[in-house]
Structure 1
Amino acid sequence: MSILDRFRPVGAPGPAGPAGVPAADIQGPAVELAPVFAALADDVARCAALVDEARLSAEEDVARARTQAAAILSQGRLDAGVERAKAAARVEREASEQDAELLEQARQEAAALEESGLALMPAVVDKVIDTMLAALNPGLLGPGPLSPGHKSPGQK
């Protein structure tokens, strides 16, 4: 029995008449819908297969992505170690360059001090000798800048 056979025939076209109602529902909707579901069974099976394929593909994609992420992290850790070593070498090189500059500056200052000290040496030696001689024999030097009681032009 078709779904259309379930409804009683109603009046012909024209003024409104009584509505069509089911004549009998002895077999129930399950029997009526069985052929529809049977016709859809192949489509449902194909859809289930597609869902299973998609699920499997998604699991493979996730596994591949996890492997790739682990490789990226591993490479990042290796690169970080290399970069740390490069940075340490750069800092050490800069410190060595700065130390070399400071050492050269200290050498130049020492050379300048030595040169100025050597330039003053004869005058200091003369003064020390004159002072020692004056202390040993006050009359030996005579009047002069180192003799006792001598006043320099700026003294009163």
Structure 2
Amino acid sequence: MPRSRDILERFRSAGTPGAATATGVPADRVSELSAELEPVLAQLAATQAEVSRIRIGAQREAEVRRQQATERAAALVAAAHRQAAAERADTARQATRHYEEEAAAAFAAAEVNAAAVRHRAAERMPSYVDRVVSAARAAVHAWQKDDP
């Protein structure tokens, strides 16, 4: 669309005021420029169509790549969850084994202490038995004396 300045330019006098000259309307520059550029722009039409085709293909490929990346990411996340579950199970097994070993060690220590108590009891028992027997005999003897 021609600009208003171009339209007004058509009605401008052909020369400067002064001597008489041939009158006329200047050439239409917009039409001349359009005629000059049309062949060049026509050649660019094929290029623009190629650009559009390339752009559409690139958009499709980008979407495919996005989808593949999303699938890969989902697979990685799933693998990470599986690995995390395996690590948690392994850690639980190790902790259980550790606590079982500690319990076994504590049980063994308790057995040693119990054996030591039994040994001390066995060593002390004869003297305690002698004391009890002696006290019982004294009580029986005192009871027999008191009984008429």
Indicate whether the TM-score tops 0.5.
Answer: yes
- 1:38 equivalent to 2:34? Answer no
Indicate the residue corresponding to 1:108 in structure 2: 112
1:1-156, aligned counterparts within 5 Å? 23-25=26-28, 28=31, 29-138=33-142
Please state how far the C-alpha of 1:110 moved relative to its aligned partner. Answer: 0.3
Q: 1:101 is matched by which residue type in structure 2?
A: A
Please state how far the C-alpha of 1:123 moved relative to its aligned partner. Answer: 0.7
Aligned Cα root-mean-square deviation (Å): 1.9
Which segments of 5 or more consecutive residues in structure 1 lack a partner in the other structure? 1-22, 139-156
Question: Any runs of at least 4 consecutive aligned residues in structure 1 with deviations exceeding 6 A, and if so which?
Answer: none
Residue-by-residue CA offset, 1:126-155 (whole Å, 9 max, x unaligned): 1111111122225xxxxxxxxxxxxxxxxx
User: What TM-score comes out, normalization by structure 2 length?
Assistant: 0.72
Percent identity over the alignment is 31
Q: Which one has more relative contact order, counting CA pairs under 8 Å at least 6 apart?
A: 2
Which segments of 5 or more consecutive residues in structure 2 lack a partner in the other structure? 1-25, 143-148
Please state how far the C-alpha of 1:32 moved relative to its aligned partner. Answer: 3.1
1:27 and 1:69 map into 2 onto residues whose CA distance is: 57
SS at match of 1:24: coil
1:132 and 1:57 map into 2 onto residues whose CA distance is: 106
2:137 and 2:52 map into 1 onto residues whose CA distance is: 122
User: What TM-score comes out, normalization by structure 1 length?
Assistant: 0.68
